[in-house]
Every structure is written in C-alpha cells, then in structure tokens.
Amino acid sequence: MEEKDATFLKRLLATFKDEAAEHISAISSGLVDLERAAPEEQAGIIERVFRESHSMKGAARAVNLSTVETLCQSFEDVLFALKRKQIAIAADTIDVLHRSANVLGELISAVGEKGVFVVPERSRIRDLIRDFGQIMKGVALSASPSALSPAASSELGYEAAAIRPGAQMISAGTVRVTKQALDSILFQAEGLLSAKQAAGQRAAELRGIIAKMVSVKEKEVFLTEVWPGIQNSLADLGKALEQDRRVLAGMVDGLMDEVKQISMLPFSSVLDLMPKVVRDLAHDQGKDAALTISGDQIEIDRRVLDEIREPLIHLLRNSIDHGIEKPAARTAKNKDPMGSIKIDIVQKEGKSVEVVVSDDGAGIDIDKVRDSAVRLGAVTPEEAGKAGGRELLPFIFRSGVTTSPIITDISGRGLGLAIVQEKVDKLGGAVFCEQAGGRTAFRLLLPLTLSTSRGVLVRAAGQSFILPSTGFDRAVRIKRDDISTVENRETVFIDGQAVPILPLWKVLEMPGPGKGTPELVFLQAAVLGTAGHRIAFAVEEVLHEQEILVKDLGKQLARVRNVLGAAVLGTGQVATVLNISDLLKSALKAAPEKIIAAPGETGAVPVVKKSILVAEDSITARTLLKNILEAAGYDVKTAVDGIDAFTMLRTGQFDLVASDVDMPRMNGLELTAKIRQDKRLSNLPVVLITALESREDRERGIEVGANAYIVKSSFDQSNLLEVIKRLL
C-alpha cells in the first residue's frame, strides 16, 4: 500500500508542477500587461491574475505544499485590495508581485518527488511576506475570497485547481495530446498491419520463384515455357510490390505527419514568459524596455522549442545589456525613453522558420568587436584593419569576443552569443547578425521539425555529402572565366554581390583533385548562407534535394567540426550531413586556394598537428590524457611534474600545456606562474586539470594566469577537447 501511495504522490506532484507552471506563466504575463495597461484595462487584468493565483493556491493545498499556499494567499490579498481600489497600482507594489511570482516559480521548479523544496532560501520568502504586510497595512481583508473557506470561495466563483483540458505546455518528458489525435494515430498504426502481412506474402512469392529457378537449374532443363512462366511471375510480383510501396508510403507519410503534428507546439509556449524576462532584466539595470512579439502562433517541433529557449534568453539579455540605453541617454538621442525589443517569427518556404530578435538600442560597436577579435587572436591586426562591419559582425559569435568592458552576471564573458551559435548549430540551423534601419537584428533560421528535414545531396572528393536545406541558398553553374580574384581570394558575382568561392574538399581538409586533372570550363557550386553573408562551395556535382532523417554520431563524437550527423540514403549508402554554420566559419579560416589544382599538384592538404604537453604525476591519469588527446589528432608529450614540464618547454615547441595542480617538486600553479613570467612562453595557453574544486582553488588558478580550470570530479572528455579547441 505504501508503494502505491508513493507512486500516486509522484504522479500527483508531476501533475501539479505542470499545472502550476501554466499558472506562473499566466501570472507573470499578466503583471507585465498590468504595468503597461491603460486605466480602463487594469481591472480586467487584475481579475485574470487573481483567478490564476487562486487556482494555484487550491492546487498547492491539494498536495500539501503549504509554503506555496501561503505565498499565494498573500499574493491574492494584494490583488483583492487592488480590485477594490483599497491600494493604488504603484511601482513598488508591482515589483513585490513580480518578485513573488519569481519565487513561486523557483518553488515549483524545486519540488521533488516527495514534495521537498531545494530552493529558494527561506529568508527571501520571509522578506516577501514582510513586504506584503507593508503593502496591506491598514487594509481590511475580511471580505477577501482568499481568507474565506474553500466552500465560500467556491460560491464566489473560484474553484479548486483543475487541469485545463485544452492547454498545451512543455515539461520534462510530457506533452498533452487530444483523444482525436491518439485515435488517428492508432487507426493508421493498425493499418500498417496489413502492409506487414502483404510484405510477408510478397516474400513468400519471391521464395517460390527462387525455388522454381533453382529446381530448373538443378535439372538442367531450359524449357522455353518454364522461363516465360518465371518472367510473368516476376512481372506480377514487381507490379504488386510497386502497389504495396505506394500504399505503404502513403500510410507512413500520414502517420509521420500525425506524429509531427502532435509534437508541434506554438512559439507562444516558450515566449509567454519572455516579456517578464525583459522587464526584470531592464529593471535591474535601471532601464525601461518593452518586448513585442509577432508570429508566436506558428507551430514548431517542441524539441526545437526546448533547445531554442536558452538562446532566446541570451539574445534578450544581449539586447538589454549591450543595446538598450538608459532612459536619459535615449532622451538625449531624441529616442523614446522606453527601448523597443521585438521577436518576429515567420514561416519560410519549405520546412524552416525564421526568428528575428531585434532592438532599437545603440547597436554593436564594430571597433570594440575588432579590438576584441584581435586580442583573442581570431584575426590579425592587419586583417582587422581592412575588414568592414559586415566582415567583422560574424566574430561576435566567437567564444571570448565581447564588447563589454567588465564581466557581470549578465554578460562580459563573451559566451552568450557563442552559446546561441552552438545551440542553433546543434539543431542544424543558422544564425546571422545585421544592423540596418536603426535596429540590430539577430536572424535565427530553424528547422520546422527534427524528426525529418530536407537536404541537398552533393558529391565532392568522390564522396556523398548532404547540405541541410535551411542554410542552402542555391545551386549555381559557374563559368571558369567568370571567377575573379579579390584580396587573394577567388570570387564570383551572384545577384550583383561578390561571393567568395572555394572547393568544398579544401574546407573539409580532404585530398583534392589528383595529378593531371583537366581544367573544367564550367563548375558546379552550392551557395550557402543568407543574402548578407554567402559563400559558394565548388563541388563535383549537385544531385537533388530529398527528405532526410539525421542521426547523431554518438556520445564519442558528440561534436565534430563541420559535421552535423549522418543520414542513410535510399540506396542504403550512409552520407555525412554537414554543418553549414561550421562550413562558413571554416571557409573564412581556410587559406586562399584555387578551384582547380595546377598540373603536377596533388591538391592534398598538409595536416600539421598541434603539439600539447601534459604534466601529470599519476601514470594512470597521464596515460588517459595522452590517449584522449592523441585520438583527437594532437601530438602529445608528457612530463611527470612541473620541473620536468618546464624543462621540456624551454627546449621544445608546444601549442598548449595541460597540467595537474597537485604534483611533487613543482605543482601546476607554480608551473603556470613560471610560464607567464617567461617572455617566450608568456602567451602559451595553460589548462589546469585538478581534483581541487573549491572556489579558492579556482581563484588561485586564475591569479597565476591559467586559461582554463577543469575539475576532475566533473571531468568530461568532450568538455576538455572543446576547451582545448577554443584555446588553439
């Protein structure tokens, strides 16, 4: 019985968390609306928020979450007083309500399977109760529905919590599906049974034909009447199989469409809370900004929504911290004191969606981007000096590139936009930045669904590759004589715009055309990117566009540069699905190269391995690190302690040092300090890999000049390789 009770409680709490998340979203949106509403609209909004709070209080009472119930009670008291105009709608009052909604959201998220809270601190709750008391000082609450019994509240029209039947939301591992949708899927799945039986019948017929052919061969009888019989049987079987294929294709397509439809949710399911995110961030910085959203009714795969939520928040943070000015500064520029941030969603042709996050702030300081990119080593001072705004804007997505003069809890580390790029890449999409018309805009091109997508099949270096359609601009046929050289790079004009062109095999670091390859009069190329940032990749052949099911490469190859995953073609051949965003970045890094190798050249790209020195006193850890790094393509040397490592550094050439901290004779901190004091080695990247995980230990690593600090208890191979890749 106890086990049944525990299982029931677990289900009940999961249901409560889903329902409460909806209430919190509605409350937060309502509070943002209340701040901006005209006086005649305020009463309706207050009533709406009041009902949401009351429903959540009832649900909390049902699962014995007294802390949530108490906060909702105080929340309702204030709202009821606002309804009766016993208190005014003041900024301080709204701030307390916003803080209460934030704490309620944290409480709901922190509910465990047994109803145990993890966060927030009780002091924050006590402060809120105190602030509510200050607001309500002198206000009579005797008529407040929240102070009445559940029965009395019900009589006033406020019922206990119940899950709204038509609502949709995203939550961990659950999604609500209508009965009609389930019935439709079941009906189509049952139809597959007949297709299964038909396939068995065709297989039996084929076995019969094969048996007849074997029998004829064994008897060495080659009668004319036998072979026409076999031919007729094969012809009939071919027709039946084609009919089966058409029926099965229709059933599978219909079933896939139904499943996709169930997994689709409107953008509003993740955007409802964004106005409050903007409000809170702006408020914390003494700024004023309003968020407007259009196209949020467009539906997209819920897995895409799960992944895109964090990038959208990063972009909103970026708009407020770097873009929107404070009211006084905006007024001095003859701008509205309130900043404007927009999220516009548009469904594109094919199976993709464009999300544009823009603001009317100060814009991106290109000079600061240039300086930051040079400091990071992403571009040389000479190249940066020649580059214009359009060439430099893509660098803002590089990890470490930032225009902020100081690191804060919101920005300054140069990670926010890098995370946006990484998340969008993972989805097989693309992200671009542009400045025009007084607005800075980030354009995110996303696939409509992750279950299947579309891609263009091309051939390069004798292999098949798939380019996702979301970033594929067009296929072009280029006359060799139309290619010109601009700043040592081959370029072709498309729609009046100069577009760089280089071989796909070059970007993928594959062997190119062999000796004696004839120079072609016409070339085929795939143009990737958007109108503002395009690159043409020369290929042997552009074949066709097709539907693809992208599979990842497994945990061991979670992140491979230029590669998104793999897909099985209709022929059974496995083709590599390329990452368009990575290709564009790799193309910018690639050395200038002619499309066709000169006679006598092999076209092969020499690969120079980066050299890493590993300093570790444990032979087990030393061997593990060496194997991991060598498998990733690095040339690795090892040292048994800091003195051994520093001696090797003075006599050899290395691109990076990976060191333990706790070592005999000279530890990793001392080794790092000596490296920084040596003029020749001072810029050498150092990664500390250690069991010491306290904040003080990390600060010591920063003080001596380490570039990265990785704790062994949370060691992850992909994380180490990603850190090293960034530093190199």
CATH of residue 571's domain is: 2.40.50.180
CA distance 106 to 103: 5
Q: In terms of residue numbers, what domain contains 32?
A: 2-155
If one counts the domains in the chain, the total is 5
Evaluate whether residue 162 is within a structural domain: no
Using one digit for the tens of pLDDT, what is the confidence trace for 339-352? 999 999 998 876 78
What's residue 712's pLDDT? 67
Say if residues 62 and 131 touch (Cβ distance below 8 Å): no
**Same domain assignment for residues 422 and 338:** yes
Omega into 120 within 30° of 0, i.e. cis? yes
CA distance 279 to 290: 7
What's residue 657's pLDDT? 92
**Same domain assignment for residues 222 and 282:** no
**Same domain assignment for residues 92 and 9:** yes
Evaluate whether residue 385 is within a structural domain: no
CA–centroid distance for 719 within its chain:
17
Q: State both tokens at 23.
A: 């209430």
Question: Where a domain ends, among 233, 262, 291?
Answer: 262
Evaluate whether residue 381 is within a structural domain: no
Evaluate whether residue 118 is within a structural domain: yes
CA distance 676 to 682: 4
CA distance 288 to 328: 10
Nearest to 575 by CA among 440, 484, 467: 467
Question: Where a domain ends, among 441, 470, 495?
Answer: 441
Evaluate whether residue 96 is within a structural domain: yes
Query: How large is the C-alpha radius of gyration of the chain?
Result: 32
**Same domain assignment for residues 149 and 198:** no
Evaluate whether residue 561 is within a structural domain: yes
3-state secondary structure of 266: strand
Contacts of 619 (CB under 8 A, 6+ apart): none
Count Cα atoms within 13 angstroms, Cβ side, for 113: 6
CATH of residue 625's domain is: 3.40.50.2300
Question: Where a domain ends, among 247, 262, 277?
Answer: 262
Successive 10-residue mean pLDDT values, the chain, 728 residues: 61 77 86 86 87 82 79 86 85 87 84 54 76 77 42 32 33 58 67 65 74 65 64 76 75 71 81 84 87 90 84 88 90 93 87 90 84 74 74 74 48 63 80 85 86 81 85 84 77 82 86 60 82 80 82 69 80 81 78 47 52 86 81 86 90 89 87 89 86 71 82 66 79
**Same domain assignment for residues 7 and 114:** yes
CA distance 347 to 300: 10
CATH of residue 317's domain is: 3.30.565.10
Evaluate whether residue 605 is within a structural domain: no
**Same domain assignment for residues 13 and 136:** yes
pTM: 0.51
